[in-house]
Amino acid sequence: MKVTVIGAGNMGGALIHGWAKNSLRSYENETLRYENENGVSLCIADKNEALLAQFKETYPAIETTTDNVAAVKGADIVVVVVKPWLMPLVLDEIKGALDLEKQIIVSDAANFTTEKLAEQLGEAGQYCYVIPNIAAEYGASMSFIAKGKNTSDESLAKVKALYDLCGDTIVVTENLVGPGMMMASCGIAYVMRYIRAQMEGGCEMGFYPDQAKQIALQTMQGAVSLLKETGWHPEAAIDKVTTPGGVTIKGLNELDHAGFNSAVIRSLKAGLK
């Protein structure tokens, strides 16, 4: 199965790295190919030749080209990962080269839904709208996948299997892709801001910045691992470390006094207005 990725910027690049890392196999003749158990090969299309050269150096067997039209020919899945305002231009460019009877077209552009793909490319196509996040490079993305009305379950399964290589996936109705984006894509920035604040607090209390960063990251990792391994609700885990009159409850109450929960919820909803 050939997968073409149009756009190798931050998000496209993260996906390319994730797919290549999780698809790499070495053969006896020491040649390198990029394929997973389903036989996936990758082609990258981008106008930035220097960027393509970097990918080619890292993954020699990946196809690279500056020609979007040439890239989509023969592809089974075409993933378009460009800025939303560029989507109409790119789709118009490749439209004549697409085989909508055979190919699956995926939009990874925010708010560029399957309905918009159908409007520009035609109702008969099989379309998916997917929002991953930049942790895809490390196999840790949280991706939300919605299928168009004419997309078969078989095609949806192929798209899901592809994004499964880059982390967790959830198939949702299209109206939930936006909220998912706010929680998991934009949400990465919100988590980073919390980590930064924790580091600053650590520095104020006497730790060096690198120590504060190590503490903040391991604490975050510990919290995530605890919830994943136990299946606990966060409040159940909080109860484990909160004793009457102790220091934890004092800190939690300060977060509540500062409107922490409300601020998080408002930040998640802000991008949906």
104-119 exposure pattern, b = at least 16 Cβ within 10 A, e = fewer: bbbbbbbebbbebbbe
Residue 40 has a pLDDT of: 64
Confidence label for 156 from pLDDT (cuts 50, 70 and 90): very high
User: Rounded CA gap, 58 and 78, in Å?
Assistant: 22
Query: What are 160-213's pLDDT values in tens digits?
Result: 999 999 999 999 999 999 999 999 999 999 999 999 999 999 999 999 999 999
How remote is the C-alpha of 226 from its chain's centroid?
A: 23
Q: What's at 185, amino acid-wise?
A: S
Q: Cα(262)–Cα(265) distance, rounded to whole angstroms?
A: 5
Mean pLDDT of 17-41: 57
Whether residue 24 is predicted with pLDDT greater than 70 in this model: the reply is no
CB-based contacts of 101: which residues, under 8 Å, 6+ apart? 124
Collapsed DSSP state (helix, strand, coil) of residue 95 = helix
Q: Residue 39 pLDDT > 60, yes or no?
A: no
Percentage above 90 pLDDT, the chain:
88
Q: Is the pLDDT of residue 137 over 60?
A: yes
Task: Tell if the pTM clears 0.95, that is, is over it.
Answer: no
